[in-house]
Amino acid sequence: MIPKVFKEVIDLGDGRTISIETGKLAKQAHGSVVVQSGNCMLLCTVVSNYKQSDVDFLPLTVDYREKFAASGRYPGGFFKREARPSDGEVLTMRLVDRVLRPLFPKDYHAETQVMIQLMSHDEDVMPDAMAGLAASAAIQLSDFPFECPISEARVGRINGEFVINPTRAQLLESDIDMMIGASADSVMMVEGEMDEISEEEMAEAIKFAHEAIKVQCAAQVRLAEAFGKKEVREYAAEREDDDLAKKIHDLAYDKVYAIAKAGSAKHERTAAFDTIKEDIKASFSEEELADFGGMVSKYYYKAEKAAIRDLTLNEGLRLDGRQTDEIRPIWCEVDYLPSTHGSAIFTRGETQALATVTLGTSREANQIDMPSFEGEERFYLHYNFPPFSTGEARPIRGTSRREVGHGNLAQRALKGMVPDECPYTVRVVSEVLESNGSSSMATVCAGTMALMDAGVKLKKPVSGIAMGLISDGASGKYAVLSDILGDEDHLGDMDFKVTGTADGITACQMDIKVKGLSYEILVNALKQARNGRLHILEKLVETIAEPNAEVKAHAPKMITRVIPNEFIGALIGPGGKVIQELQKATKTTIVINEDPITEEGIVEILGTNQEGIDAVLTKIDSLLFKPTIGGSYQVKVIKMLDFGAVVEYLDAPGNETLLHVSELAWERTENVSDVVNMGDVFEVKYFGVDPKTRKEKVSRKALLEKPEGYVARPPRDNSRDSRSGGRDSRDNRGSRDNRGRDDRRDDRKPREDKKED
């Protein structure tokens, strides 16, 4: 049976389109769509169990995978199949998850899986920009309880003009690379990097993307209506008891308010809140707790959240006693670790990050091998968040998605400030040692100082800050919180992280939880974030004002030389012999790359000993040394032969040539040692390549005065014929007649005759 296909087309306004199709593939899933732009095709399927899970959260899994077959390639590795997700895929999963999760009901706890797969790749389409659209469209075709359609779009700016879903090539020219997730009514998520733009410019970019998202949301509604909108499934909702909620609120609110107003430290405050909660539980009988014990905790946290929010909105105070725009105390230190190439500690309140920098050659670049992108990163940052940083003991199961996301945010914040001419591959690693607030922003600050400590010539230092927002739609009150605590991250209406220099924003990450947030509030929040960033930046500059002039004594020095393509082989040597011996002798690392455009050799020399680096440079100079015809050069005798001496140019050690015995002196020389000896240094004149011998010719005698009475030997008589016994009279037919050998076969019987005999 031919399936009935339903399709909607979205016009991007510049000749490009995005189509959403359903009805052909994966029909046993609860919802499935194929989203296509150009030759790029994403298949998204969604499934949610009909039975609620025994947990108090939504067990949602968003999985994004790029199939290598989509770009006509084989996956790497021994087994030649896709394995664990790459960092790029994990980042796309996080972008989609952050927008979808808030739109499910808070009491919906069924196991839910969203799977997005790149099935066909197009070089001019970046698939991650359509992943959110695909996920939402598939959910619209299901019976899931889901608030409203959403979509995501990438926005760039080229020559002052905004572009929706730019190509990877266009992004190279863009000063903005932002992903925005939104519904038709509200912006919900923003993440990206920028080239030091202003807060107003960032808000304009978000507005532009939101207009495009509205069109994409409308297309999803039309597709669902054409397909046949399903009735929303029924599920076992959480039990509610308004009387119990009011009772717990009355018991908890004032006590929580008082503790929150006291401005205590994290552990003291947490213990006090736990005591209130336990006292409330103790006020109920065992029978009552058995009946609705789980609801007590839920309603207590509601009351706690309400009290803390009211304290901030009414009195401008926060949990630790700060004002809304106040930054916690900061202390910093650089050069803490003696053996690293660069290190720094950044501590802000109860959050601490220790960053290290390692310098290397292009061989240490981070290789990216995805179906949608192949390349390498010469600057990259890794972020580690061990459980002890929050006073917990839990299993460590590899790098988490959160660690990948936070590390990527910090990397994007800093990478634009690493100059293009930096010769090193630079790896920054952030170890989060304490966390109560944004450890990713602490990573940015520690990373800035560690890079400067390592001698990396940052264009400008970068700082970062985490902000929060508490708002009351009924009264119109709102409070923007600078440098939020971990608790404030959960109870606020927006949490956003902004990084930048003194001149503008370099990266951001926002999750907006309140509907219809005005752009006026957003810009005000960003401006308050700027003040906080500048305050933190001052602390960084007080610690280290500018990058160190030189790398540390134990850190490798990097020298880059460009050599013509024809000399690459000579430097490498047969089987790599020359370069391997050179590295061993000089204790350096030598990497040779070929420029893809000019095809010149790019030689990277990395070493801690300047003498070793100089020795490699001397070797390269000797390879590149080319004497000019008619020039005079100092040489040294390095080998004695019967017919001359092998001499080495002093300007190019290792570059040697033959000085023939006939060019030693004007007088006839019987023995080479009569004129020169091993180790002698003198000048020779260079004559270029001798047309007769096809070898380079140098002469010592050409620089000496002719002796008095010197008579040149007569030139050889080339007219001699065979009767004179000369060799030069040979003709083509009888060149060996003088020796009586070339007619010998005439006297022999044919070989066949001998066999017959």
Is residue 677 included in any domain, yes or no? Answer: yes
Residues 6+ away with beta carbon under 8 Å from 558: 359, 361, 423, 424, 604, 605, 606
Q: Do both 594 and 653 map to the same domain? A: no
Q: Do both 448 and 366 map to the same domain? A: yes
Q: Do both 348 and 284 map to the same domain? A: no
- How buried is 150 (Cβ within 10 angstroms: 0-12 exposed, 13-18 middle, 19+ buried)? buried
Strand partners, 357: 342, 428
| 3-state secondary structure at position 136 | helix
Is residue 479 included in any domain, yes or no? Answer: no
Which H or E run contains 299?
helix 286-315
Q: What is the pLDDT of residue 683?
A: 92
Average pLDDT, integer, range 199-203? 94
Residues 6+ away with beta carbon under 8 Å from 490: none
Is residue 356 included in any domain, yes or no? Answer: yes
The annotation status of 483 as a binding-site residue, yes or no, is no
Q: Which residue has the tokens 């297309």?
A: 219
- How buried is 708 (Cβ within 10 angstroms: 0-12 exposed, 13-18 middle, 19+ buried)? exposed
Is residue 485 included in any domain, yes or no? Answer: no
Confidence of residue 500 (pLDDT cuts 50, 70, 90): very high
pTM of the shown model? 0.84
Query: Is pLDDT above 70 for 329?
Result: yes
Confidence of residue 526 (pLDDT cuts 50, 70, 90): very high
Selection from 444, 429, 460 nearest residue 360 by Cα: 429
DSSP state of 357: E
Q: What is the pLDDT of residue 414?
A: 98
Q: Do both 92 and 223 map to the same domain? A: yes
Q: Do both 59 and 156 map to the same domain? A: yes
Q: Do both 615 and 637 map to the same domain? A: no
Q: Which residue has the tokens 């070929």?
A: 594
Q: What is the pLDDT of residue 716?
A: 56
Q: Do both 154 and 268 map to the same domain? A: no
* 285-308 b/e (C-beta count within 10 Å ≥ 16 → b): eeeeeeeeeebbebbbbebbebbb
- CA 548 to CA 456: how far, in whole Å? 8
Is residue 41 included in any domain, yes or no? Answer: yes
Pairing relationship of beta strands 110-120 and 60-66 according to DSSP bridges: parallel
Average pLDDT, integer, range 14-39? 95
Q: What is the pLDDT of residue 170?
A: 95
Among candidate residues 192, 227, 262, the one where a domain is terminated: 227
Selection from 233, 224, 244, 290 nearest residue 108 by Cα: 233
* 116-148 b/e (C-beta count within 10 Å ≥ 16 → b): bbbbbbbeebbbbbbbbbbbbbbbbbbbbbbee
- CA 416 to CA 379: how far, in whole Å? 10
The total number of structural domains in the chain stands at 5
Structural domain for 16, as ranges: 6-227
Q: What is the pLDDT of residue 722?
A: 44
Length reported for the chain: 757
| 3-state secondary structure at position 154 | strand
Q: Do both 222 and 260 map to the same domain? A: no
- CA 484 to CA 328: how far, in whole Å? 9
CB-CB contact of 62 with 135 (8 Å): yes
Q: What is the pLDDT of residue 729?
A: 44
Among candidate residues 227, 261, 286, the one where a domain is terminated: 227
Give the dihedral sign, CA 279/283/289/292: negative
Average pLDDT, integer, range 403-417? 96
CB-CB contact of 742 with 731 (8 Å): no
| 3-state secondary structure at position 524 | helix
Q: Do both 106 and 146 map to the same domain? A: yes
398's torsion region: left (phi>0), alpha (psi -120 to 50) or beta?
A: left
Q: Which residue has the tokens 């040697």?
A: 656
Mean pLDDT for all residues in the chain: 90
CATH classification of the domain holding 581: 3.30.1370.10
Q: What is the pLDDT of residue 746?
A: 47
Among candidate residues 315, 343, 358, the one where a domain is terminated: 315
Is residue 276 included in any domain, yes or no? Answer: yes
DSSP state of 617: H
Per-residue pLDDT reduced to its tens digit, 450-459: 999 999 999 9
CATH classification of the domain holding 463: 3.30.230.70
Is residue 322 included in any domain, yes or no? Answer: no
Is residue 320 included in any domain, yes or no? Answer: no
Q: Do both 637 and 680 map to the same domain? A: yes
Which range is most confident: 235-239, 407-411, 640-644, 703-707? Answer: 407-411
Selection from 49, 53, 215, 43 nearest residue 142 by Cα: 49
Query: Is pLDDT above 80 for 676?
Result: yes
Query: Is pLDDT above 50 for 343?
Result: yes
Q: Do both 86 and 107 map to the same domain? A: yes
CB-CB contact of 561 with 617 (8 Å): yes
Q: From residue 555, how far is each of 318, 421, 424, 430 by CA, in Å?
A: 45, 18, 11, 19
Candidate from 105-119, 431-445, 674-688, 707-721 with smallest mean pLDDT:
707-721
The annotation status of 489 as a binding-site residue, yes or no, is yes
Q: Do both 201 and 261 map to the same domain? A: no
